[in-house]
Amino acid sequence: VTDRFELDAVAVAAATELQGRLTKPPGALGQLEAISIQLAGIARLCPPPVPTQVAIAVFAGDHGVVASGVTPWPSEVTGQMVMNFANGGAAINVIARSCGATITVVDVGVATPLDPGLNIVHRNVRRGTADLSVGPAMTTDEAAAAMAVGRSVASELVASGAQLLVTGEMGIGNTTPSAVLIGALCNADAMAVTGRGTGIDDAHLARKQAIVAAALTRTHQLAPIELLAEVGGLEIAALVGLITAGVERRVPVILDGVIALAAACVAEAMQPGVMLGCIAGHRSTEPAATIALAHLGLSPLIDLGLRLGEGSGAALAVPLVQAAARLIGEMATFDSAGVTDKS
C-alpha cells in the first residue's frame, strides 16, 4: 500500500482562481471547469498539460459463470472479439481512431487459446475463471497476478508517453461478476445491481439475479483481494491494477462502464483516494453503474444509453477531457482580452 493519493492543493487553488479570470461568466463551462481543476491537481501543474497522447488498454478474460446461463452469448465470442480488436474492426478501434488514441489489447484470461502470433499482449494468467456460482472464481494468487498484469501495462504505457489512460475490457458474462462486486462494495442487493447486460431476456435475467444474490451471501467480511478472487474476473483484476498504477503515476484514468466501475470500487477499497485521479467517462445503462458512480462520488461526462463496454464510453469522453484541459490553458482572461467583467 502506497501513500494515499491526493490532488495537489496548490495546483487546484491556482486552477480554481484562473477559471474565474477566463473570458466567460463564472461557472459557465460547468463540469468541464471541475475536470480542468482535477487535471491540474493530478498533474501538480496549472494549467494542466493537454493529454494528447491517450492510451486505451483493453483487457480480455472469460467467465466460468457463463456455463450457468447468465447470457446467450457463448464464451468463444471473447476470443473472437480479441481478434476483431486486433484487426481494427470493433467499436473501440473505430472510436480510438476517431480520437487519436492507441489501443493495447491484453489477453489476461481468455478461455480460447489464442495464436501466439496475434498482435496483442499475451499475458494469460488462467484460461477463464471458474463458475462463481459454484465456488471461488479464482485464487487470490491468480487475482494478484492479473492485477500485476494491469499494473505493468499501465507502467509501460506511461513510460511510452501516455498522458491519459482509458479502461477497456472484453469478457462474455462479465456484467455478472461486476454486479456482485458492486453489490458487495456498495452494500446494494442483487435486484438493484443486476441488469440485462448485452440485452438478455427475462429467463436469463432471473438466473443472473439468483446467481448474484447467492454470490453476495459469500462476500461478507472479505478483504478486497479476497472478494476479487471469490467473485471477480481476470480482466476486472487487471483493471484494478491499471487504475491504481496509472493514478500512482499521476496519469488520469477515464473509467468506462459497469465493469470498469466494479474494478474502480475494488481499487478504491484497496487504496482510498485513488478515485481522485479518475474521471467517469459515461453512465452505462446497467443499474449497477449508477450505484457505483454514486458510491465513488463520480459524475459521468456522457450519458447516451451506451452498454457496449470495450472502453467505448470512456473513449468517447476523451475529447471532452482534452477540451477541458485546452480551455483552461488557452482561453484569454478578461484582462488580456480587454473584455469588461460584469458590473
Q: Which residues are catalytic?
A: 310
DSSP state letters, 304-320: S-----TTHHHHHTHHH
| C-alpha span between 225 and 145 (Å, rounded) | 11
DSSP-derived 3-state class of residue 249: coil
141 to 180: interface string for its own copies, x by CB under 8 A: ----------------------------------------
288 to 307: interface string for its own copies, x by CB under 8 A: -------------xxxxxxx
Beta strands across the sheet bearing 102-109: 121-122, 102-109, 54-61, 164-170, 253-255, 278-280
Binding residue (CB under 8 A) for its own copies from 25, 116, 119, 159:
25
Binding residue (CB under 8 A) for its own copies from 9, 223, 294, 337:
337
- State which residue, 31 or 187, has the beta carbon closest to its own copies: 31
Binding residue (CB under 8 A) for its own copies from 84, 176, 209, 271:
84
Which residue is listed with cell 487553488? 13
- State which residue, 81 or 154, has the beta carbon closest to its own copies: 81
- State which residue, 49 or 72, has the beta carbon closest to its own copies: 72
| C-alpha span between 237 and 224 (Å, rounded) | 11
* Listed ranges 25-33, 139-147, 233-241, 271-279: which one lies at the site for its own copies (CB under 8 A): 25-33
Binding residue (CB under 8 A) for its own copies from 11, 60, 65, 95:
95
| C-alpha span between 143 and 233 (Å, rounded) | 8
Do residues 238 and 149 touch, judged by C-beta distance below 8 A?
yes
187 to 226: interface string for its own copies, x by CB under 8 A: -----------xx---------------------------
- State which residue, 148 or 323, has the beta carbon closest to its own copies: 323
In the DSSP assignment, the letter for residue 116 is T
Taking CA atoms, 19 is separated from 48, 214, 293, 331, 332, in Å, by 12, 49, 26, 9, 10
- State which residue, 26 or 113, has the beta carbon closest to its own copies: 26
| C-alpha span between 237 and 148 (Å, rounded) | 9
- # of chain residues touching its own copies (CB under 8 A): 60
How far apart are CB 208 and its own copies at their closest, in Å? 15
Which residue is listed with cell 461526462? 301
How far apart are CB 309 and its own copies at their closest, in Å? 8
Site for its own copies, residues 29 to 48, rule: CB under 8 A: 29-32
For residue 58, what are the β-bridge partners? 105, 168
Give the gyration radius of the chain's Cα atoms. Answer: 20
How far apart are CB 11 and its own copies at their closest, in Å? 20
- State which residue, 93 or 124, has the beta carbon closest to its own copies: 93
- State which residue, 81 or 179, has the beta carbon closest to its own copies: 81
Q: Which residues of 279-301 are buried (b: 16+ CB within 10 A; e: fewer)?
A: bbbbbbbbbbbbbbbebbebebb
Taking CA atoms, 264 is separated from 98, 259, 274, in Å, by 26, 9, 9
- Contact between 335 and its own copies by CB under 8 A: the answer reads no
Residues of this chain that interact with its own copies (CB under 8 A) are 22-32, 71-74, 76-77, 80-81, 83-84, 87, 89-91, 93-95, 97-99, 198-199, 285, 301-308, 312, 316, 319-320, 322-323, 326-327, 330-332, 336-340, 342-343
